[in-house]
Chain A
């Protein structure tokens, strides 16, 4: 037990009441007087030159207020990483996937805008369409982007130790291939935004985003407005999981149209447009060669990966690094080589999605490790326990594992799932499998090169001293950052949870890089904690003067001033406060001095009490090329056991039970941590068993609906036995680190390993459909 008052508890979310009553407003719920509705014209072709765009008929439609193409928007390039700014608001020379944006129309209502957009005439010259990386890389293929003649947009080559030599020293070496499928974020709320450029020249953009800060910078750059005149506000957001972590075309187009028309402009994506915009999980083709010693020591790993990136880079440069850099880290692996290639194709751009870059690699390797353990005759959990790293170790690519409860995770799931009595002992058709996971706790560097703080926070006390107003630009997208930051502020300052009021997700409240790379709790948490501690100090300093008690002899806890050296006479302050607040509600009455009274005195003495906190990780990691991707102030880890039933006749897999342990450093809110684990596992289950974005031969998304692109329902997901491991991360606020993304890592390979245990077949291609298993079972029977 610890003596925290607020954190480490199961408090309800700060926004639960708004959300459960339907009061919470999301971007599509917003409207303004005089508002216009805008829609996009998107390319019906996957690859073509644009010869001419004729908007004249659209402009004539009654009710149309503006029509814009690249001619009005300009062709300033943007993207996620400045090294690959390869997008423009609208296409000007060519279109690169079905859905590429060509024009936008603003009109008095949605129907009018739709009618007008259908009247825009575009002449194309069709180009060869590349729907897979092999065609795109073929000799003589037309470059999708001129600067990359072989359609390889990014390459990574890294070696730590000496893999070729090391493999020669190994007793057992094997090579396996693995491929996943392009996956969709599947968040329930389609992107929407409302832009308002006012008469004073300020742009306010309300948008469904994970990263208000990056959207602000992109809008400012593309529309050429000073950053200070662009305010991005994130209302409630209905999930993101990665694809909402960068600026999109509707944000830019609505802003442009509002600037030109002087009226608020609203845009909402349809579900089909969400699938076309994508930015979800890449397709990865991995080839892994692993070498081990007889005694089970993992000694060398060679990882080659080709990523199908789609038409633009998006987060892809980071993705291609992550697919290599995170893989070996949980184990004592001295030799690692990685060669990664991200290839452009004529499909929607892929980007970051929960477990960015590492999910397919982890699935591939953890399955291979299972095969190796079996070949060596070692129990897969014992094999992992033999190799896992511990706190304080540094990986071969210079990740510093400042806390690392992997061993504890493995032992916990082994004992809680009754592994020893089940592994290898279940009847045919039933199986159990294990796997580990690993992830960053916040990217160590911003996406653009800068010395910027990653998170800032501000606290202001209300004049009566009773309410703590916390301002942060962190992005609550459902993951619970508002709740966690409120709890951190309350704990660090010593007030009650309900005394803190949070304002977040607005670029006017500070700088925060946003909700991606599992960074809000650690990074924004640090900034908030610092601001809260500073406010505490300010209040205690004033009190110290008034009462003649040294600051060190006082503390604030649960909303009261604590006098460490025995009771102090504060009756002067009490009667002063009562006099100040004659007739107000909530007069202090008990025998303890309240924080409220002290804060009021501080206000009377100094004016509004404000404080600021700021956090950046500082220099981290190695010096080699690409060392910035994967480097983090802390690393989360996890282990999972899955039990399945496979129907031998049909190949259908049912996941019966999941036991998951995650080391989140320290759980600020235990309910939220479990929620992140359970949500991650369900996304992993979907990706393992049925999620796949499919394309027809023309490059159109063939299943752009939740009817055809199936995500897990309440009937697919079993209950999870969630185990929280707390390793007390020294670089995290109160010891906390990530849980949002790392938790997905072990799910897919644990399912794959359980399927093998059940029916004796290895599947190296996701999703594991009934058909795939059925065929594998038949194939195995034939070979017998």
Chain B
């Protein structure tokens, strides 16, 4: 039996009928066509599906859509302001923090949620904050550098 849920995604309100076993990843990708959220494992191991839910980064593959009822969600599609990249995104572009890009949406959201709580993180705090986001391509170094640069940039604003 489908249930009606209400979500606010990237500041837009949605009313959706979902089956109780559908994950938030599935609903975002298949019902809302927000395909920037990636699925790398489906069981909470890789972080590719990271979204910000009520201000906290979560693996959306571990959240049932019905559990998210009434929640405020931000996906990668909601990070840039129109055509203007968020400073974290700008830094990812500039510092070469992206290779295949499959981990990138999740990384950006984990970084964003870190910098919102802790605008001046140490390198170790950055590494801890993204330790649930696997990246096979970059060796993480340029991602860490990008987040450090973004933190500086955001302070200035």
Which of A10, A29, A682 sits near B96, CB closer than 8 Å?
A10
Contact status of A15 and B101, CB under 8 A, knowing A20-B108, A21-B89, A672-B96:
yes
Cβ contacts A323-357/B at 8 Å (1 or 0 each): 00000000000000000000000000000000000
- Contact indicator per residue, chain B 116-157, by CB within 8 Å of chain A (1) or not (0): 000000000011101111111111111110000000000000
A165 CA to B52 CA in the complex, in Å? 68
8 Å CB contact of B144 from A23, A478, A479, A714: A714
- Listed A/B pairs (20) with beta-carbon separation below 8 Å: A10-B96, A12-B94, A20-B98, A21-B77, A21-B85, A22-B36, A23-B36, A187-B102, A188-B40, A236-B101, A271-B40, A478-B101, A478-B137, A675-B142, A682-B138, A705-B41, A711-B136, A712-B139, A712-B140, A714-B133
CB distance from A505 to the nearest CB of B (A): 13
Q: Which of B54-99 contact A (CB under 8 A)?
A: 75-77, 79-80, 85, 89, 92-96, 98-99
- Residues 20-60 of chain A, each 1 if its beta carbon lies under 8 Å from chain B, else 0: 11111110110000000000000000000000000000000
Q: In the assembled complex, which residues on chain B have CB atoms less than 8 Å from the CB atom of A671?
A: 95-96, 142
Task: With A22-B105, A270-B42, A706-B41 as known contacts, state yes or no: A29 contacts B93, CB within 8 Å.
Answer: no
Which of chain A's residues 240-288 have a Cβ closer than 8 Å to chain B? 241, 270-271
Is B85's CB under 8 angstroms from A17's CB? yes
CB of B48 closer than 8 Å to a CB of A: yes
Which A residues lie within 8 Å of B92 (CB)?
16, 20
List the one stretch of A363-371, A387-395, A494-502, A715-723 in contact with chain B: A715-723
Chain B residues, CB < 8 A from A241: 136
Other-chain residue from B37, B76, B130, B141 in contact with A678 (beta carbon distance below 8 A):
B141
A715 to B123, CA, bound (A): 10
Verify if A229 is at the interface (C-beta below 8 Å from B). Answer: no
**Which residue of B is nearest A658, CB measured?**
B139
Contact (Cβ within 8 A) B41 A19: no
State the CA gap A307–B46 with chains docked (Å): 30
Contact B102 A189 (CB under 8 A): yes
Cβ of B35 within 8 Å of any chain A Cβ, yes or no, is yes
CB 8 Å contact bits of B25-45 with A (1 = contact, 0 = none): 000010000111111111111
User: What chain B residues lie within 8 Å of A682 (beta carbons)?
Assistant: 136, 138-140
- Complex A-B, nearest 4 residue pairs according to Cβ-Cβ distance, in ascending order: A22-B36, A478-B100, A238-B102, A19-B101
Query: Given that A186-B136, A271-B41 are known contacts, is A21 also in contact with B80, CB under 8 Å in the complex?
Result: yes
Contact among A22, A480, A674, A706 for B142, CB-based, below 8 A = A674
Using A186-B136, A188-B38 as known contacts, list a sample of 5 further A-B pairs with CB atoms less than 8 Å apart, ordered by residue number in A. A20-B93, A189-B40, A675-B142, A705-B45, A714-B144
Q: In the complex, which residues of chain A have a beta carbon less than 8 angstroms from the beta carbon of B75?
A: 22
List, in ascending order, chain B residues with CB within 8 A of A672's CB.
Answer: 96
Report, as a range, how many residues of chain B touch the other chain: 35 or more
Question: Chain A: how many interface residues by the 8 Å CB criterion?
Answer: 55
Q: Which residues of B contact A186 (CB under 8 A)?
A: 136
Interface presence of A559 (CB below 8 A): no
Q: Which residues in chain A, 144-190, are within 8 Å of chain B measured between CB atoms?
A: 185-190
Tell yes or no: A437 within 8 A of B by CB.
no
A293 at the interface (CB under 8 A from B): no
- Chain A residue numbers with a CB within 8 Å of B128 are 714-715
Given A21-B89, A672-B96, do A679 and B37 touch, yes or no (CB 8 Å)? no
- Chain A contacts for B45, CB-based, 8 A: 271, 705-707
- Whether A681 is near chain B, meaning CB under 8 Å from some CB there, is yes
A681 to B39, CA, bound (A): 25
Chain A contacts with B in 1-21, Cβ cutoff 8 A: 10, 12-13, 15-21
Contact between chains at B102 and A706 (CB < 8 Å): no
Residue of A with least CB distance to B130:
A714
> A682 — nearest CB in chain B belongs to which residue?
B139
Q: Could you tell me which B residues sit within 8 Å of A by CB distance?
A: 29, 34-46, 48, 75-77, 79-80, 85, 89, 92-96, 98-105, 108, 126-128, 130-144
Contact A12 B43 (CB under 8 A): no
B87 to chain A, nearest CB (A): 12
Chain A residues in 8 Å Cβ range of B46: 188, 706
Contact between chains at A16 and B100 (CB < 8 Å): no
Residues of B within 8 A of A19 (CB): 98, 101, 104
Q: When A12-B93, A707-B43, A714-B131 are in contact, do A20 and B142 touch as well, CB less than 8 Å? A: no
For A188, what are the chain B residues with a Cβ–Cβ distance below 8 Å?
Answer: 38, 40, 46, 48, 100, 102-103, 134-137
Q: In the complex the two chains form, is A675's CB within 8 Å of B100's CB?
A: no
Q: Shortest beta-carbon distance, B136 to chain A, in Å? A: 5
Q: What's the Cα separation between A186 and B135 when bound, in Å?
A: 9
- Are A717's CB and B139's CB within 8 A? yes
Q: Give chain A residues whose Cβ lies under 8 Å from the Cβ of B44.
A: 707
Shortest beta-carbon distance from B107 to chain A in Å = 9
Alpha-carbon distance between A16 and B99 when the two chains are bound, in angstroms:
8
Closest A residue, CB atoms, query B110: A714
B36:A675 contact, CB within 8 angstroms: no
In the assembled complex, the Cα of A674 lies from the Cα of B95 at a distance in Å of 11
Verify if A510 is at the interface (C-beta below 8 Å from B): no
Interchain CA distance A239-B136 in the complex, whole Å? 8
Residues of A with C-beta under 8 A to B136: 185-188, 239, 241, 679, 682-683, 711
Whether the pair A714, B143 counts as a contact (CB closer than 8 A) is yes
With known contacts A19-B101, A682-B140, A238–B96 Cβ distance under 8 A: no
Provide the residues of chain B in CB contact with A224, threshold 8 Å.
none
Min CB distance B116 to A, Å, is: 18
Which residue on chain B has the smallest CB distance to residue A706?
A: B45
Give, as a whole number of angstroms, the nearest-CB distance from A186 to chain B.
5
Given contacts A188-B38, A714-B143, contact A678 B138 (CB under 8 A): yes
